[in-house]
Amino acid sequence: MNSIESDSTGNETLHWVSFPMKERPKAAAALILIMIVSALAASVMMQGIWWGIIGLALLFLSMWSFFLPVDFVMDSDGVRKKSPFGTEIRKWREVRSIIPDANGVLLSPFKEPTRLAKFRGLGVQFSGNREEVLEFIRARTGS
């Protein structure tokens, strides 16, 4: 669901939901299989089912952005990323650089690439709307 809307003042809003598991079912099936095999291996090697359950839970939590839908809204003020774990907001004035890749773009508070960018920046996932999102961001950040 991608939509650009304009309010009464002419400000555009871009809204979409990113749900990689639904968009890439073969990758999802492969990932689930790998997670289950890993959990079973942990249970056998550690001689306890709880190790497998804990391992499976940790793998799921590390991959939550693939398995759960994430709602994105971009407007004239900034970006809002709403997930089951909370809402993150970045104002355009806080974005110093953008780092796009195949699946999304990282909005970084640093002018130069740094290892801290992944922890301090905001990751925005594409959902078949790569060019539209990048154009929207570039128009507001001057990048």
* Residue 114, token pair as written in the block: 């740094």
Band (83; pLDDT cuts 50, 70, 90)? very high
User: Confidence band (pLDDT; 50, 70, 90) for 11?
Assistant: confident
pLDDT of residue 94: 95
Half-sphere exposure of 89 (CA within 13 A, CB side): 5
Tokens of 55: 């391992």
Query: What residue spans define the domains of the chain?
Result: 2-19+68-141, 23-65
Look over the chain and give the mean of its residue pLDDT values, rounded to a whole number. 92
Beta strand pairing call for 122-125 and 12-18: unpaired
Domain spanning 2-19+68-141, CATH class: mainly beta
Mean pLDDT over residues 62-77, rounded?
A: 95
Which region, left, alpha or beta, applies to residue 56 given φ > 0 means left and ψ of -120 to 50 means alpha?
alpha
Q: In what order do the strands lie in the sheet with 12-18?
A: 2-6, 12-18, 70-74, 78-83, 86-91
36 pLDDT higher than 60: yes
Question: What is the pLDDT at residue 2?
Answer: 67
Tell which phi-psi region holds residue 128, choosing left (phi > 0), alpha (psi between -120 and 50) or beta. left
Query: What's the whole-model pTM score?
Result: 0.84
Q: Are 89 and 104 in contact (CB under 8 A)?
A: no
The tens digit of pLDDT for each residue in 86-142 reads 999 999 999 999 999 999 999 999 998 888 998 999 999 999 999 999 999 999 988
Residue 35 pLDDT greater than 80, yes or no: yes
Confidence grade of residue 9 (pLDDT, cut at 50, 70, 90): low
